Structure 1
């Protein structure tokens, strides 16, 4: 069934394109996954591209929903700039994998042009041409070591073909699609691993699907044929074998890193140059995209902890995802299975109250007590690492404000021959989640990956009392108000601790969860834990609750949702 075409660039065109691109990637996802051999034959490029665009679609729909809820009148819609920025932001925060991260930068590059103030340029084919050119250039700049025969080559070819098209959105989109299709067919001749496998580049194939959706947006008709033949007969067996994996599994080649590390990073733009250099020295497939204080970082490394710690040094990493390419087996950089290491490991954690200190100690951790208004210095953390008497130490700062202090302590301990991994926990409840999956008899890297993933999957909140009038993300608070902070930002202002806690908990569980952790401070009102436990039982089936006494911890209540 033909799509009703959009005649020029506007917010509705962005919305239509994103929806059609998601449909196209949904249809092509399995095919793209099957031909994924570069940079790692892990068979997930199609899935990663789909999830990236799905996040962009959700962000654009949210803008339209918000505009309609604002009562702007029937037929009204947001501006092109608003829709384009939402598309780019959604893709950035939802980007998955190497190709998804690059696609997010392509969409961001387009949005930077489409969101300019030059109304006359952005509404027609000229604006689309400029957007495609800037997208290709910015994506190439985001990849530290660009490789030809990849999605970067396909994007550049699309921009070059679009540059000579007629000044009409449909003609520009068709030219970009045709140029990308030709470039995609040529990728096996540019990249030896593709030629050996008999496939085209998976990321490039995904981009061609996205450009086909652009053609359909402006012409009403999807391109009739697939852009490049894929030798399915050669892809039926695991492609990884053709890509150089001797056992045919989706593991990296013998000299490839073992882990994929992805995280969002809040950091000043001038700190990203140093981050790129640091990560480039640790691994490969490095892509850092974003800007204006928010970045998406993707890298393949052997030392996952060091990659996360580099983010801590640059700013505030979160939504950390670490994937082992071995899929159930453990490989060194040379592809050999190592002998199991002798268990000689400790966890050092900063905790905000005596009650939690006891809990962490019972779990085997060495603790450093952080009293309200008295954060520990790096020297105290180094001394705690020494006191742990271990060759390997996992350090849990449990406070966003301690990340630089903890990084300095970790660096000092390393000069003394101690292997230290810093997990950037921002709350004691994230530390509890990490400690719950800690297994000292595992290999160090495996243990760090598991603990980091558990901490990153835990949202955190706290309730405190405002000391003075102040502006917050939730409005103006007065001295004595109860503040509900979620992930570090004030989200709720109330007058009653229990009612405010219920509101905070409802907001956190709206996004799902399996386990709620409550840590009560010594000033928490009597009965608040019982009330919250009852709330979880009544409103959220299959969600468990655990309660701890934190003692004198500063916050009235800490909440964690895993």
Structure 2
């Protein structure tokens, strides 16, 4: 039996783990009682593995044009990095560290038993106050079993994890009272089962667990304990090791359930606190926190079911300013940062948050078409009527949102929004990072690139000059309205906006101009012409 993983096996493992967690997500959510009974462990693990799988697919996609296959070390490191940046919740963050530990050893050619041992060790070190009867116990038992039977490490690890999971109610009183096994541990068992199938080609027999809930939604679950921390705070952090060590001490004094995972300058921080602002400020003192997510725990009473609305719009936006603009228009927003496209699970979450019978989904990126289609399909299985309008840029989404009328028939509204988006040509101005060939010629690092409908059309040295050239090309075919979205980092942004407004007004008398601020995270300039 193989004692290490090649690139194809890692890819298969990620795919099978995602499939398994997708099947079991609701059941795992239903047994989530520790550390907070917020019913999202299965979803968090699914989103974490989905991010890992997307990173692995990106490595393979980069090799599609050639005859080579990616190196196993590159694939396992991509898996670990994807899990790190996409980790959700307590268990998802710990799983990301488990995958990181495995990647460290597998990337160096170590055998599976050694990788599982390193994973368990690294995960336990990442938790400020480890508790037995959790995913850590299950991971530790899997590693011990693999060490004992290295010639059949994955099957031994799965069996050790199964037995440890069955024992978790006896280790943690809250699990015993609820009559459940640990939700995070159960999710890890699904991931290890996928590893068994990826290595051996045979799926393990589904376990019969001594402690399971009788029915999803059983009222035996205890609500979130009164007096516990009010908020879950999660963020990615760019910082050095010394700063992170100080951050751990600071956050440990602010709250509980502290998990800090990662390394090499990039970390994922998870903590439960009463003062969410202080937890974020601690991250600012340590380095650069981003992708900050703050969730409020209702510690007093079960949440009241919000009344479902008839129709909602879910829109992906590339900047915080546009997120505010779209939210003011009534849309549910998903923030996409450069190099960090949202996963399908995030889009599904947004559709659920919209809490509507009908949803119009605007991905605003050609790269998100498959992700958005997967999210739409998942939401349809949950009874939501979803229309996906394949917008390729934020300005097309703004145009579609501008004509949205929730009182119209659904099909009529979708047609009108689709027509508005399709009638909007789009451009983006960006700064070249390196010398390269483009459809407009050779560019140098630092040049301003004007991309029209996705292709480089203009190369310039100045943002405003290049924008004027782009506007001339786009308005040569006619237009009635120009939309400009300026990023936060544009020098003298107000002056640039005034100049471009004046340029359009003086050169194209019948054309109106709207200017928006993209805010942090947006590209230097987006242009739309309707």
- Give the TM bin, normalised by the shorter chain: 0.5 to 0.7
Deviations 1:292-331 (A, max 9, x none): 01111111111111111111111111111111112xxxx5
Question: What is the alpha-carbon distance in structure 1 between the residues aligned to residue 275 and residue 527 of structure 2?
Answer: 28
Question: What is the alpha-carbon distance in structure 1 between the residues aligned to residue 460 and residue 290 of structure 2?
Answer: 28
Question: What is the alpha-carbon distance in structure 2 between the residues aligned to residue 104 and residue 549 of structure 1?
Answer: 35
Q: Relative to 1, partners in 2 of residues 1:277 and 1:215: Cα closer, same or farther, differing over 3 Å?
A: same
Return the offset for 1:518.
Answer: 3.6
Who is 2:425 aligned against? none
Q: Relative to 1, partners in 2 of residues 1:557 and 1:20: Cα closer, same or farther, differing over 3 Å?
A: closer
Q: Relative to 1, partners in 2 of residues 1:436 and 1:257: Cα closer, same or farther, differing over 3 Å?
A: farther
Return the offset for 1:195.
Answer: 0.4
Who is 1:57 aligned against? 53
Q: 1:176 aligns with which of 157, 167, 184?
A: 157
Who is 2:139 aligned against? 155
The secondary structure found in structure 2 opposite 1:263 is strand
Alignment RMSD, CA only? Answer: 3.9
Who is 1:351 aligned against? none
Question: What is the alpha-carbon distance in structure 1 between the residues aligned to residue 517 and residue 40 of structure 2?
Answer: 43
Are 2:120 and 1:139 equivalent residues in the alignment? no
Return the offset for 1:231.
Answer: 3.0
Question: What is the alpha-carbon distance in structure 2 between the residues aligned to residue 529 and residue 46 of structure 1?
Answer: 53
Who is 1:522 aligned against? 495
Who is 2:6 aligned against? 10
Question: What is the alpha-carbon distance in structure 2 between the residues aligned to residue 499 and residue 91 of structure 1?
Answer: 42
Deviations 1:484-506 (A, max 9, x none): 9xxxxxxx97455228989xxxx
Are 2:36 and 1:40 equivalent residues in the alignment? yes
TM-score normalised according to structure 1 size: 0.60
Return the offset for 1:457.
Answer: 3.3
The secondary structure found in structure 2 opposite 1:163 is helix
Question: What is the alpha-carbon distance in structure 2 between the residues aligned to residue 22 and residue 528 of structure 1?
Answer: 52
Question: What is the alpha-carbon distance in structure 1 between the residues aligned to residue 207 and residue 503 of structure 2?
Answer: 59
Question: What is the alpha-carbon distance in structure 2 between the residues aligned to residue 494 and residue 141 of structure 1?
Answer: 51
Who is 1:87 aligned against? 79
Q: Relative to 1, partners in 2 of residues 1:518 and 1:161: Cα closer, same or farther, differing over 3 Å?
A: same
Are 2:466 and 1:497 equivalent residues in the alignment? yes
Are 2:112 and 1:128 equivalent residues in the alignment? yes
Are 2:448 and 1:482 equivalent residues in the alignment? yes
Asked if structure 1 preserves the Cα contact closer than 8 Å seen for 2:435 and 2:444, the reply is: no
TM-score normalised according to structure 2 size: 0.64
Are 2:198 and 1:217 equivalent residues in the alignment? yes
Question: What is the alpha-carbon distance in structure 1 between the residues aligned to residue 503 and residue 251 of structure 2?
Answer: 44
Who is 1:324 aligned against? 296
Deviations 1:160-212 (A, max 9, x none): 00001142xxx211000000000000000000100000000000000001111
Who is 2:176 aligned against? 195
Are 2:281 and 1:309 equivalent residues in the alignment? yes
Q: Relative to 1, partners in 2 of residues 1:197 and 1:114: Cα closer, same or farther, differing over 3 Å?
A: same
Q: Relative to 1, partners in 2 of residues 1:21 and 1:6: Cα closer, same or farther, differing over 3 Å?
A: farther
Asked if structure 2 preserves the Cα contact closer than 8 Å seen for 1:482 and 1:500, the reply is: no
Q: Relative to 1, partners in 2 of residues 1:306 and 1:437: Cα closer, same or farther, differing over 3 Å?
A: farther
Q: Relative to 1, partners in 2 of residues 1:498 and 1:528: Cα closer, same or farther, differing over 3 Å?
A: farther
Q: Relative to 1, partners in 2 of residues 1:437 and 1:60: Cα closer, same or farther, differing over 3 Å?
A: closer
The secondary structure found in structure 2 opposite 1:200 is coil
Q: Relative to 1, partners in 2 of residues 1:237 and 1:294: Cα closer, same or farther, differing over 3 Å?
A: same
Question: What is the alpha-carbon distance in structure 1 between the residues aligned to residue 279 and residue 446 of structure 2?
Answer: 41
Deviations 1:380-433 (A, max 9, x none): xxxxxxxxxxxxxxxxxxxxxxxxxxxxxxxxxxxxxxxxxxxxxxxxx74686
Return the offset for 1:557.
Answer: 5.7
Q: Relative to 1, partners in 2 of residues 1:529 and 1:147: Cα closer, same or farther, differing over 3 Å?
A: farther
Which runs of no fewer than 5 residues in structure 2 stay unpaired? 303-318, 339-393, 395-427, 437-442, 451-457, 472-482, 488-492, 506-512
Question: What is the alpha-carbon distance in structure 1 between the residues aligned to residue 502 and residue 86 of structure 2?
Answer: 36
Who is 2:515 aligned against? 547
Return the offset for 1:129.
Answer: 0.4
Return the offset for 1:137.
Answer: 0.2
Asked if structure 1 preserves the Cα contact closer than 8 Å seen for 2:48 and 2:87, the reply is: yes
Who is 2:370 aligned against? none
Q: Relative to 1, partners in 2 of residues 1:549 and 1:457: Cα closer, same or farther, differing over 3 Å?
A: closer
The secondary structure found in structure 2 opposite 1:289 is strand
Asked if structure 2 preserves the Cα contact closer than 8 Å seen for 1:458 and 1:560, the reply is: no
Q: 2:17 aligns with which of 15, 18, 21?
A: 21
Asked if structure 1 preserves the Cα contact closer than 8 Å seen for 2:429 and 2:526, the reply is: no
Q: Relative to 1, partners in 2 of residues 1:435 and 1:199: Cα closer, same or farther, differing over 3 Å?
A: same
Q: Relative to 1, partners in 2 of residues 1:482 and 1:31: Cα closer, same or farther, differing over 3 Å?
A: same
The secondary structure found in structure 1 opposite 2:128 is coil
Q: Relative to 1, partners in 2 of residues 1:144 and 1:473: Cα closer, same or farther, differing over 3 Å?
A: farther
Deviations 1:225-252 (A, max 9, x none): 225244332654245xx43x3xxxxxx3
The secondary structure found in structure 2 opposite 1:300 is strand
Which runs of no fewer than 5 residues in structure 1 stay unpaired? 246-251, 338-428, 439-452, 467-471, 485-491, 503-514, 532-544
